[in-house]
Structures are given as C-alpha cells and as structure tokens.
C-alpha cells in the first residue's frame, strides 16, 4: 500500500458513506404495496461498528429517503443520517464544522457521479468494485468487493489497519 494512503488514513476522524451502491448493491426492490427492501452486508455493519469503537464518527449522505436506511443506521448506532440530500456538499460542510474536521480528516466512499464533489474534497476516498468507471478512476482505493457485498468492510478494515487502530478494536496485532 502506498505510503501516501497510510498517511491519509492516520488523519481520518469522520467516515462518510453514500448508501445505494455502497452500503447496498444498488437494487431497489418494491413489493405490490410499495414496501421497499434493501440488502445490507452484515460484515459491512461490523466494520462500521469497529471504526466507531476506534473513535471515528460515521455519517450517511444519500439522495433518496428510505425508512430501511433509518432502521439500519439505528441498528449500527449511526446518528448522522442525511437522506434526500440533493447537494451533498452542504451536509458535508455542516459535518466538518460540527465535528471540528477539515477535508483531510474525512474518508468518503461513493459510487456514482453525484459523489464526485465529495470524492474530490475528502482526504481518503474509495469506491466499490462495481462503481461507475469514472468514479473508480478518481479514488485512492477501489475495493475488490462490490457495493452491498463487503466493500464498506474492506474500506473500514483498511482505515483501521493503516491508521494503527486495528489492534484496539479487533484485539489482534498486525505484527
């Protein structure tokens, strides 16, 4: 791993994620009554709990509104849930101010064109393996796994390991 990425990981205080295509595989499943279903990967959730345990605040910023996202965020203890956001940079700026961070203190994972601005600004960036090609070309890390299939866990593990916080949350030394 490049030294530059390791240096970036050490500065992270805030992890912000897009939802559809990052925490989920991007599918929106509706039943005949209009109920929405999304599939989340359990190991992504565990990774988010570990970064929180390491003192990193987690936030979600998404353009859609979904009760399912609210439920999943509550299960994971994520308080910064911002849905139906059309200009993600407005929420991004508010979060920076609220948590006393600068752009370099933010890790962001996105998968589509609406994420470009935050990807340009954030200190450490990632995209799932199945993100749009132009997005994959602009990030620090492209995960092996796709959105909703463990991509978030790859990113959280990388942040924890490269920043030296892995042992404190996993009980395992990297030797």
Any domain includes 40: yes
CA dihedral 118, 121, 124, 129 (to 10 degrees): 40
pTM of the model: 0.94
Q: 150 in a domain, yes or no? A: yes
Tell whether 147 is covered by a domain: yes
CATH number (domain holding residue 92): 3.40.50.1000
pLDDT by position in tens, the chain (length 175): 578 999 999 999 999 999 999 999 999 899 999 888 999 999 999 999 999 999 999 999 999 999 999 999 999 999 999 999 999 999 999 999 999 999 999 999 999 999 999 999 999 999 999 999 999 999 999 999 999 999 999 999 999 999 999 988 987 666 5
Tokens 């390991």 sit on residue: 161
Task: Count up the domains in the chain and report the number.
Answer: 1
For residue 174, being part of any structural domain is answered with no
Domain limits for position 81: 3-101+109-162
Q: Alpha-carbon torsion 85, 87, 89, 95, what sign?
A: negative
d(CA 128, CA 12): 19
Domain presence at residue 68: yes
> Using an 8 Å Cβ cutoff, are 23 and 151 in contact?
no
Domain assignment of residue 167, yes or no: no
Residue 172 within a domain = no
Query: Does residue 58 lie within any of the structural domains?
Result: yes
């Amino acid at each position: 791993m490049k030294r530059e990425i390791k240096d970036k990981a050490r500065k992270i205080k805030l992890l912000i994620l897009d939802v559809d295509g990052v925490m989920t595989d991007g599918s929106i499943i509706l039943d005949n009554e209009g109920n929405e279903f999304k599939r989340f990967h359990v190991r992504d959730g565990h990774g988010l709990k570990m970064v929180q345990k390491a003192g990193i605040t987690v936030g979600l910023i998404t353009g859609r509104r979904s009760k399912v996202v609210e439920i999943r965020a509550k299960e994971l203890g994520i308080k910064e849930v911002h849905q139906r956001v059309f200009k993600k940079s407005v929420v991004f700026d508010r979060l920076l101010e609220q948590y006393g961070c600068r752009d370099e203190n933010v890790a962001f994972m996105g998968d589509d064109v609406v994420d470009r601005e935050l990807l340009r600004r954030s200190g450490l960036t990632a995209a799932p393996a199945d993100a749009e090609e132009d997005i994959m070309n602009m990030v620090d890390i492209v995960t092996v796994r796709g959105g909703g299939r463990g991509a978030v866990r790859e990113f959280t593990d990388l942040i924890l390991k490269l920043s030296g916080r892995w042992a404190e949350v996993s009980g395992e030394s990297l030797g």
